[in-house]
Amino acid sequence: MQNREQWGSRLGFILAASGSAVGLGNIWKFPHMAGENGGGAFTFVYLICILVVGLPIVIAEFVIGRKTQLSPVGAFETIAPKSNWKWVGMLGVASAFVILSFYGVVGGWTLKYTLISLTGGFNELAGNPELSGKLFTNFISGSLAPILWQVIFMAITIVVIIQGVKGGIEKWTKVMMPAILIILIMLMIRGLTLPNGMQAIDFLFKPKFDDLTASSIVLALGHSFFTLSLGMGTMITYGSYLRNDQNLLSSALWIIFLDTVIALMAGVAIFATVFAMGANPGEGAGLIFVVLPTIFPEIAGGAIWGTLFFFLLFMAALTSAISILEVITAYFIDEKGWSRQKATIIFGSVITGVGALCSLSMGTYNITALAGMSFFDVLDYLSSKYMLPIGGMLTGVFVLVRWGIPNFISEMVVGMKNPKVNATFVRILFLVSATVVGFILINEIIATITGTPIIG
């Protein structure tokens, strides 16, 4: 396509793609998963999963996008015309709908908590997890307030996407990613210099293999897709705005590196604070919104540190949310010929509406209670346990059996200076990645049906 939008620079692309990867998954989910699963042992498995399962799929998505210059549905259709592979692209668009619906709700929470901290609202919570828990539950189960914040978060996301690839996504992520890194480094140093803060390093990096259970392996695998934004065509879409002059292998390695380092730094910053104040690292999902607000007021300048932390979380959520909305916008531009503005406003609003239902489902209006889960939980569960792994696995299978490793490699090496790629090695990588994810999926399905997984 002649006038397809393009990234302005290689750095812009790398920051936008790592902005997509770095999100609530890194700063909210990773630390609490590590906290509940023995720390070091979990980190160790997570790192292996990212490299073995994540890397091949990141590269595959970039290569498919750059080659076809199209978002997922058109991309699969171009390489495999008149086949069913375009449904993998459709699944991606559907996943984007599902994920952004609940992601926007949590995005709203981050804004609200930034404001609470800024106005000294954590002070009364000092050392009182019970009160903090109550405040949090009251807020998220309310009808009006969480929806208001979600609408604001989604409106910002929509504004960025309307501004386009270079003028919106790239411009905003170029400011927010460095800001995220700087704030995180400050928070980490603050945490580590608190008494006992250094215990965090031991906790996260010293693997105690006794703690390693099959279920933490399964968890780490699933999370590696979510954290790298894989399996729904985000990276295909971002790759489609690239010209042919970029080394995709090194770009992919940069993105994985940044995503991993930021998750680990967030872990260190959070656990250092937790240990310094003698709190429990295994608190689970409430670690961030319930435990941290009780700790910040106890450290010097706590209101500032708290505000910085939640603002960092907001920026990380925003750079991910825009990448999810872009998948949907790009689909309607590429396949239906809509204008960017029309696609973004219409579907951004529809998703905000579904998200509002999600938010309501945590309060008195418990809309769907499938298997005891709220609508919010159902969307989270569906996307991270099924939709993303299925999408990612099929992307790997597509490269292996439909496109073919030789075709894939000849496209991948475009833009590389001295390409030395061993086809057998690449084939094995894709085989292992697709098989491992396939196994995890089957395991999950069996667990859902029979109540007992093969492993985990």
145-204: contacts with ligand PHE (CB under 6 A): none
Q: Which is nearer to ligand PHE, 26 or 68 (CB)?
A: 26
Distance CA 113, CA 249 (A): 38
Distance CA 324, CA 332 (A): 14
Q: Report whether 229 contacts 92 (CB < 8 A).
A: no
Distance of closest approach, residue 238 Cβ to ligand PHE, in angstroms: 10
- Of 25 and 197, which CB lies nearer to ligand PHE in the complex structure? 25
Q: Contact 231/387 with Cβ under 8 angstroms? A: yes
As a three-state string, the secondary structure of 384-401 is HHHHHHHHHHHHHHHHHH
Measured between alpha carbons, how far apart are the two ends of the chain, in Å? 47
Say if CB 68 and CB 79 are below 8 A apart. Answer: yes
Which of 79, 187, 324, 328 lies at the binding interface for ligand PHE (CB under 6 A)? Answer: 324
Which is nearer to ligand PHE, 85 or 97 (by Cβ)? 97
Which residues between 223 and 262 bind ligand PHE (CB under 6 A)?
226-227, 229, 232, 234
Other Cβ atoms closer than 10 A to 431: 15
The reply on whether position 329 binds ligand PHE by CB under 6 A is: no
Q: Which residue, 157 or 246, is less far from ligand PHE as judged by CB?
A: 157
**99 touching ligand PHE, by CB under 6 A:** yes
Dihedral of alpha carbons 105, 107, 112, 113, sign: positive
Span of 121-129, 153-161, 221-229, 356-364 interacting with ligand PHE by CB under 6 A: 221-229
The nearest distance, CB 319 to ligand PHE, in angstroms, is 9
**Are the C-beta atoms of residues 339 and 333 closer than 8 Å to each other?**
yes
Smallest gap from Cβ 227 to ligand PHE, in A, equals: 4
Residue 141 sits in the site that holds ligand PHE (CB under 6 A): no
Q: Counting every residue, how long is the chain? A: 456
26 part of the interface to ligand PHE, by CB under 6 A: yes
The answer to whether 21 contacts ligand PHE (rule: CB under 6 A) is yes
Piece of 24-32, 40-48, 82-90, 205-213 that binds ligand PHE (CB under 6 A):
24-32
Q: Measured from the CB of residue 50, what is the shortest distance to ligand PHE in angstroms? A: 12
Spatial contact of 37 and 287, defined as CB atoms under 8 Å apart:
no
Q: According to the binding rule CB under 6 A, does residue 323 interact with ligand PHE?
A: yes
119 burial (CB, 10 Å; 0-12 / 13-18 / 19+) is exposed
Least spacing, CB of residue 21 vs ligand PHE, in Å: 5
Q: Find, among 323, 344, 303, the residue nearest to 236 by Cα.
A: 323
Query: Is residue 25 involved in binding ligand PHE (CB under 6 A)?
Result: yes
Select 33 or 212, whichever has its Cβ closest to ligand PHE.
33
Residue from 12, 23, 65, 267 that binds ligand PHE (CB under 6 A)?
23
Q: Which two structure tokens, joined as six digits, stand for 258?
A: 């940044």
Q: If binding is defined by CB under 6 A, does position 20 make contact with ligand PHE?
A: yes
Check: CB of residue 114 under 8 Å from CB of residue 399.
Answer: no
- Distance between CA 232 and CA 121 in Å, rounded? 38
Residues near ligand PHE (CB under 6 A):
20-21, 23-26, 99, 226-227, 229, 232, 234, 320, 323-324
